[in-house]
Chains A and B, each alone.
Chain A
Amino acid sequence: MKKINVLFFGKLKELWNTNKLSLEIQCNDVDSLYSELLKTASEAPHKQSIKVAINDEFVEWDSSINNGDTIAFLPPASGG
Chain B
Amino acid sequence: MFRISDKAINEIELKSQTLDPSAGGFACFEGWVRNHNQGKDVQKLAYEAYTKLAIKEGNKIIKEAHEKYEITKAFCTHRVGLLSIGDMAVWVGVSAAHRDAAFKACRYILDQVKSRVPIWKNESWTDGESGWVEQE
Contacts and interface: CB of A to CB of B under 8 A. Distances in A.
A55 to B, nearest CB: 9
Contacts of B31: 80
The B contact surface, by secondary structure, is mixed
Bin the interface of chain B by size: 20 to 34
A8 to B, nearest CB: 10
Contact of A9 (B50, B89, B133, B134): B50
Nearest to B79: A79
A79 B119 contact: yes
Nearest to B56: A56
B111 to A, nearest CB: 9
B78 interface: yes
Chain A interface size, as a band, is 10 to 19
Contact of B50 (A7, A14, A76): A7
Interface of B: 31, 47-50, 52-53, 56-57, 78, 89-90, 110, 113-122, 132-135
10 contacts: A7-B50, A9-B48, A10-B122, A14-B132, A53-B118, A58-B53, A74-B53, A74-B118, A75-B120, A78-B121
